[in-house]
Each structure stands twice: as structure tokens, then as C-alpha cells.
Amino acid sequence: MANLRIHYLQHVAFEGLGSIEEWALNNGHLLSVTKLYEAAVYLDINEIDWLIVMGGPMGVYDEDKYGWLIEEKKYIQQAIAAGKTVLGICLGSQLIAEVLGAKVYPNNEKEIGWFDIHLTPTAVNNELFFDAPPTIKVFHWHGDTFDLPKDALHLAYSEACKHQAFIYNKKVLGLQFHIETTEESLEDMSTYGTEELEEGKKYIQSAEKIYHQRSLAQSNKTLLFTLLDRLAAM
């Protein structure tokens, strides 16, 4: 595997790369970051091979509150147009979907905790997911969803959310769920997002229940590393 120049966009201090960082460093890839919550500095698009867009509590439509979203969307569009490999997680997937012309909007239900995703028939035959289990329990923390971008392949869904994963042009992958989660990042998200953990909601788990299932982060990491290896090979 060639050494890649991986640039990532981070929206809040408590949502970093998670286990993606371990994969990148283990494979000798170079990491750089634009921290949107600080003075944002973007690398020239020709200086990167991959762009990874992380999650965050804001919405893609919050440009009045987070003015940097305007430039961020332009940068994502540049990366896609330049043929870079682009990976979006949670908010990142929503930003990619909007950049590709799809509508992003509040889902009927917030989905927070460990819930199953189901692979579509397309995913089962796709080179990224072809030997993955048809049902996988992954971590979620999102209130918004998106329509499937035109010409994108639908890869996964959950009971609460129809569009959980898609791939566009074999190089642009959107994951609504947090497959990069580590035990540490679980604690951080639960701490900073305590007010969203409403009791009595079908698709919202308590902080205790979330952390009780923290061992799932290890199996998620195994799947993540396989996806990243295959994405790099493509």
C-alpha cells in the first residue's frame, strides 16, 4: 500500500479521527488536519490524496451560526472534482450528500447508541463490503439524515434511518454511523452530548447502556480497517 497524504476536517475538539488514526499511522500514511473550531487553514487540494470529513453536533444548514461551513463545502467539492478519495462520517456524510446535490434534513427519530445496520443487496456485492456480515451493530449519534445523492449506490440502512451508507464514483464514501469510535471517544461524546440522551426514546440509549456495550468498538475497528484497506486499494 502506497503512503497516502490524508487530510481531515474536524468540527469539534471531542470528535477526532478515533481509530482511523491508528490505521493511518500503522500504514505509514501522513496525517494533516483543518480544525474548523479554530482558525481554519486548508491545504492545497493537490497536496492531499484523501480527505476525511468528521462528525459534529451542527447541521449542514447552520451556515448562519457556523460561517466556516460555506468554505468547507467548497473544499469538499474541490476534493471530489479532483478525483480524491473522500470519506465522510456522520456530519461528514451529510456534507458530502449536500455537496452532491442531495437534500439533508432532520430524521423522524434521533438515533443515539448501538443499533444494527443492514447491508443492502448492492453492498453485499460491492468490493468494500462483499464479505461483511449482513447485519452489523455500530454506534450512532445523529438527528439528521439525507436523500441518496444521484448516481450514488445505497449500501446500508437501519430501522430508524433509511440511508446509513453510500458510495459515489467508487471513491466517495459516506457513513452516517460512527465506525471509528473508540472507548475514549464514546466517553467524550456522551459527556459533551448529555442533554441529547433523552429517556424513553426508542432509538436513544442511556450513557450507561452505551458504555456497557463499549467492547463493540473493537469489532467495529476490525471492519473499519478492512474498509480503509480496500478503499486505499481502489
Catalytic residues: 90, 178, 180
The amino acid present at 160, given as its one-letter code, is A
Contact 83, 47 (CB under 8 A): no
Give per-residue burial for 156-172: e unless 16+ CB within 10 Å, then b. Answer: bbbebbbbbbbbbeebb
Cβ neighbourhood burial of 63 (10 Å; 0-12, 13-18, 19+): middle
Name the DSSP class of 178.
B
50-53 sheet: strands from edge to edge: 30-35, 5-10, 50-53, 85-89, 172-175, 165-168, 153-157, 104-119, 135-146
- What does R_g of the chain's alpha carbons equal in angstroms? 16
